[in-house]
Structure 1
Amino acid sequence: MTAVVGCGVIKSMGNNPDGAALARLDTLPNYKDSGFQNLVKRPDSTVKHNRLFSILSNRRQPIRPCYKLPWVKTNLKTLAASAPTVVWFGHSSLLIKTIDCNILIDPVFSNHAGPVPGVMRAFGGTKHYHAKDMPPIDVLIISHDHYDHLDYRTFKKLRASIKMAVVPMGVGSHLIYWGFDPGKIIELNWNQSVTLPGVIVTATPAQHHSNRKFTQHDKTLWASYVIQLGSYRLFYGGDGGYGTHFEQIGRRYGPFDLALLECGQYNQPYVHLGLGQPAQAAVDLRARLLQPIHWAKFPEANHPWDEPIETLLQAAQKLGVQVNVPRIGEPYTLGDPPRQVIWWDF
């Protein structure tokens, strides 16, 4: 059993680009010195932040809820969608359902985030959705290769039901290593688009980083996305710190009907949105509605688990930003009134 688990851990680490795939990256303007670069350099690029050590040695309570989070059981295979309908599964995993297609983003259904099962355990109440609950996936979108966004065990179970995968440059190497058909992978650099049945997907900049192996950093790209569904425009931020790129994206691709922006796990301010910053990013993007993601599932930082949503709502009120906070599994259809029930405070 130990050997099986160890083999699974090694497999889950994936495989960075090499050979012809690596040679292609070398030609890209944002790939320099053997790695991808952010638009803005880290204030002190020599500092190596040991995230795991910080989490384990300096935690503040309560980083986990003391009760199971409320959730809604939705039959995703029969869910009707007269307009784009978003179902959030906790953290950054989402299904966007339209009349024409099913789009699954950053699915993590393994109930932990990381190569070793059981280390970064999901909160109670967030474990009720699985790969088997998903409808056929017309488009899988991955924002970057961190374990809490690209999960090997989830991907392995979904693999046969995915028609096409849209990923940042280099991330396709992981999928191919895990047995996915290279002909079903579309890799995008920032500001590149692909038109698929029912949807136009554009990769846009994000201020983040990538790695699945401790000694290999930034060998694959990270991205946010503009998702155009007919007359509707959605923005998915993935992970990334605050910067002028939000305003630039808003001018070039906005306005947006919905911005899905990270809220929480801000132990690394440069590469994550901090307290209140999602609201300002939504303003910059010219978003009509903000829905927080990247919270309410994994204890990846030292702050109290519900601090992100409380501070976001305060900042959003000051800036006049409407916020939608559905329960896990609760569908939200664009055009409906935002969900405003405070379900996280018992």
Structure 2
Amino acid sequence: MVRSMGKDPYGDELARLDTLPNYKNGAFENLAERADSTIKSKWLFLRSHPETVRPSQALPWVKTDLKTLPAPAPTVVWFGHSSLLIKTGQGNILIDPIFSNHAGPVPGLITAFKGTTNYHAADMPPIDVLIISHDHYDHLDYRTLVKLKDRIKMAVVPMGVGSDLVYWGFDRKKIIELNWSQSTTLPGGLQITATPAQHRSNRSYSKENKTLWASYVIQAGQYRLFYSGDSGYGPHFKQIGKQYGPFDLALLECGQYSPNWPWTHLWLGQSAQAAVDLQARMLQPIHWAKFEEANHPWNEPIEKLLPAAEKAGIQVNVPRIGEPYTLGNPPMKTIWWDFD
């Protein structure tokens, strides 16, 4: 077995999952039923494979010393795709890190765009909490995590994902597994709540939904952030906004949508509507600008999002890779993606 594929829950861990209300017949379930046929017919106009699925030149990036980064308010650094460092007064948060520059069980399957490979595990400061949204390879990266393992104080993951981390050498006592609507408060005061997402999980084609997927509400002092993980659009965004909002910043997926998986990702301008539902004051797009995982132009997600957000009255923050953004500052609006 390829070690990077991880290990599904078994034994007592599997028996524990069997008691959960959202785990039925050996798999986790979404809140809503799939709507594949409805959405598929609506979006089949998309080009099958445009030449611009990968950028023609290296993406611009900013070199930031992450170990001396000041944080008068929560400061967010994006590394492309969905990898984020959030420095707060209550601790450093690292979300879905992938610094091995490919997304898959072995190197070379899905390679990173040029300009997105300048940050590495060694650049990270001590991590008070690692947050993982689900077990897909572009969010749960074996090669990155084994390098970071000894500098991570605690990991917060969805139900079942702890089995992968234990298999890779993490101390079970330093892993907190959450089901939707469960919260944990860490020693520094960070409060993290797992919330629903509309997605799926698998690290092999033969086994699906053996572990949970989640979005997260992050409370850091007076600031409240939302991280979507991967999720299609659904009523859960409005429910989360009503229960936990408003949010100072919503980090929302924007990209890798396809008629082949129409219900598991936000489409085109849907990130803007999700931000409205969440009662977010500002939106920052993630899940784009690093990997070719769907057949749309690499910069189409941001070009479709901006007019949708303007129409919805939502501010959008679009930093370059590695460029820190501190909550409370004006959004970053430099158009750095204006090339094929």
What interval of TM-score do these two structures reach, taking the shorter chain for normalisation? over 0.9
CA distance in 1 between partners of 2:48 and 2:329 (Å): 41
Residue matched to 1:186: 176
Equivalent in 295, 302, 309 of residue 302 of structure 2? 309
For 1:209, the equivalent position in structure 2 comes to 200
Picking from 161, 170, 175, the partner of 1:171 is 161
Is 1:43 paired with 2:35?
A: yes
Instruction: Note the C-alpha offset of 1:76.
Output: 0.2
C-alpha contact 1:143 1:168 (8 A) present in aligned 2: yes
1:282 corresponds to = 275
Partner residue, 1:52: none
Q: What does residue 263 of structure 1 align with?
A: 254
Is residue 243 of structure 2 the alignment partner of residue 252 of structure 1?
Answer: yes
What is the aligned partner in structure 2 of residue 51 from structure 1?
Answer: none
Q: Could you tell me which of 130, 134, 139 is aligned with 2:129?
A: 139
Among 196, 200, 205, which residue is 2:191 paired with?
200
Distance 1:320 1:194 in 2: 33
State the 1:44 CA deviation.
5.3
Partners of 1:60 and 1:329 in 2: CA distance = 28
Match of 2:139 among 149, 158, 163: 149
Tell me the matched-pair count. Answer: 327
Structure 2 residue 18 is matched with structure 1 residue 26: yes
Report the alpha carbon displacement of residue 59 of structure 1 after superposing the two structures with TM. Answer: 2.4
Tell me the alpha carbon deviations over residues 302-322 of structure 1, each in whole angstroms, 9 at most, x when there is no partner. Answer: 000000000000100111110
User: How many Å separate the matches in 2 of 1:32 and 1:228?
Assistant: 31
Q: Which one of 296, 302, 320 corresponds to residue 327 of structure 1?
A: 320
SS in 1 for 2:86: strand
Please point out which of 98, 103, 108 is paired with 1:108. 98
How far the C-alpha of 1:213 sits from its partner, in A, is 1.2
Is the 2:90–2:221 Cα contact (8 Å) retained in structure 1? no
Does 21-30 or 116-125 show the bigger shift? 116-125
- Partner residue, 1:218: 209
Give the superposition deviation at 1:198: 2.8
Shift of 1:338: 0.2
- Deviation sequence 1:157-192 (CA, Å, 0-9, x none): 000100000000000000000010000000000000
Report the equivalent of 2:6: 14
Q: Distance in 2 between matches of 1:295 and 1:25?
A: 32
1:78 maps to a residue whose letter is T
1:297 aligns with 2:290: yes
Q: Which residue of 2 aligns with 1:72?
A: 62
CA distance in 2, matches of 1:137, 1:85: 14
Take 2:35 and 2:303, find their aligned partners in 1: how far apart are those partners?
A: 28
**Partner Cα distance (2:226, 2:255) in 1:** 18
Query: Identity of counterpart residues, as a percentage?
Result: 73
Q: Distance in 2 between matches of 1:307 and 1:44?
A: 22
SS at match of 1:187: strand
Question: 1:41, 1:60 → 2: CA distance?
Answer: 31
Gaps of 5+ in 1: 1-6, 46-56
Counterpart for residue 4 of structure 1: none
Residue 99 of structure 1 deviates from its aligned partner by 2.4
| TM-score normalised by length of structure 2 | 0.95
Distance 2:243 2:124 in 1: 33
* Alpha-carbon distance in 2 for matches of 1:332, 1:240: 24
Question: Aligned partners of 2:251, 2:100: CA distance in 1, in Å?
Answer: 22
Deviation track 1:137-162 (CA, whole Å, cap 9, x = no partner) reads 00000000000000000001000100
CA shift for structure 1 position 116 = 1.8
Distance in 1 of aligned mates of 2:20 and 2:70: 41
What letter is aligned with 2:214? A
Contact 2:36 2:262 in 1 (8 A): no
* Structure 1 stretches of at least 4 aligned residues deviating more than 3 Å after TM superposition: none
Q: Distance in 1 between matches of 2:36 and 2:134?
A: 23
The separation in 2 between residues aligned to 1:151 and 1:272, in whole angstroms, is 20
The equivalent residue for 1:3 is none
Distance in structure 1 (CA, Å) of the matches to 2:48 and 2:120: 32
Q: Which whole-Å CA distance do the structure 2 matches of 1:72 and 1:87 have between them?
A: 10
2:48 and 2:269 mapped to 1: Cα distance? 23
TM-score after normalising by structure 1 = 0.93
User: For residue 190 of structure 1, what is the amino acid of its counterpart?
Assistant: W
List runs of 5+ in structure 2 lacking aligned partners. Answer: 38-46
Q: How big is the alpha-carbon RMSD for the aligned residues of Structure 1 and Structure 2?
A: 1.2
Shift of 1:118: 1.2
1:99 and 1:23 mapped to 2: Cα distance? Answer: 38
| Aligned 8 A contact 1:61 1:303 in 2 | no
Q: Which amino acid aligns with 1:123?
A: F
Q: Shift of residue 58 of structure 1?
A: 4.6
Alpha-carbon distance in 2 for matches of 1:126, 1:341: 18
| Alignment-mate amino acid for residue 192 of structure 2 | V
User: What SS does the aligned partner of 2:51 have?
Assistant: coil
